[in-house]
Amino acid sequence: MNIILLGPPGAGKGTQAAKLVEERDMIQLSTGDMLRAARTSGTEMGNKVAAIMDAGELVTDEIVIGLIREQLEGDKKGGFIFDGFPRTLAQADALGELLAEKGETLDAVIEMQVDDEVLVGRVVNRAAEAVAAGKPARADDNADSMRVRLMEYYKKTSPLIGYYHAKGDLSSIDGLASIDDVAGAIKAVLDKS
């Protein structure tokens, strides 16, 4: 089973992906993690990624799709969770083409709906908890940064909601429910897919 988790930063996609990895033996494909791993891998693709990132430039869709292609060629286990990808309509089209090329399907797109101000509060609290625990807070865990990240999400990624709705792949759930209730809602979507 291959799924996409959609939702703004701080919606809990990573938390829910980790539960799916544990409970369904799925593989989480986080583009951020893949880029960091590629950067230090020493492979030809990794060297390309490192050069682009070191120059402060954005990695192209072509490179990200190349990294995903490499993952799809490995052990599929319980399927893939696309986390942080696609972010644009062009990436959604490229992912669809790649899955078709590999004989794979996209089984569900789950939108985790959340309230922006609650998300801003979450990241501010996350930063405060990190500091209280003697850990460094993420540099972007503050209200202003979060609002900028949300605006980027709505500009670039929210068109995917309409795109996948039109294809009949989209299910929306309440991302502000408890972690267990969100997991239950995701399970219900996957069980009927």
Residues marked as catalytic: 13, 87, 126, 138, 149
Task: Please say whether the beta carbons of 186 and 83 come within 8 A.
Answer: no
End-to-end Cα spacing for the chain: 9
Task: Please say whether the beta carbons of 141 and 125 come within 8 A.
Answer: no
Task: Please say whether the beta carbons of 52 and 63 come within 8 A.
Answer: yes
CA distances from 66 to 37, 46, 72 (A): 14, 11, 10
Residue count (the chain): 193
Measured between alpha carbons, how far is 24 from 2 in angstroms, rounded to an integer?
Answer: 11
Measured between alpha carbons, how far is 171 from 184 in angstroms, rounded to an integer?
Answer: 13
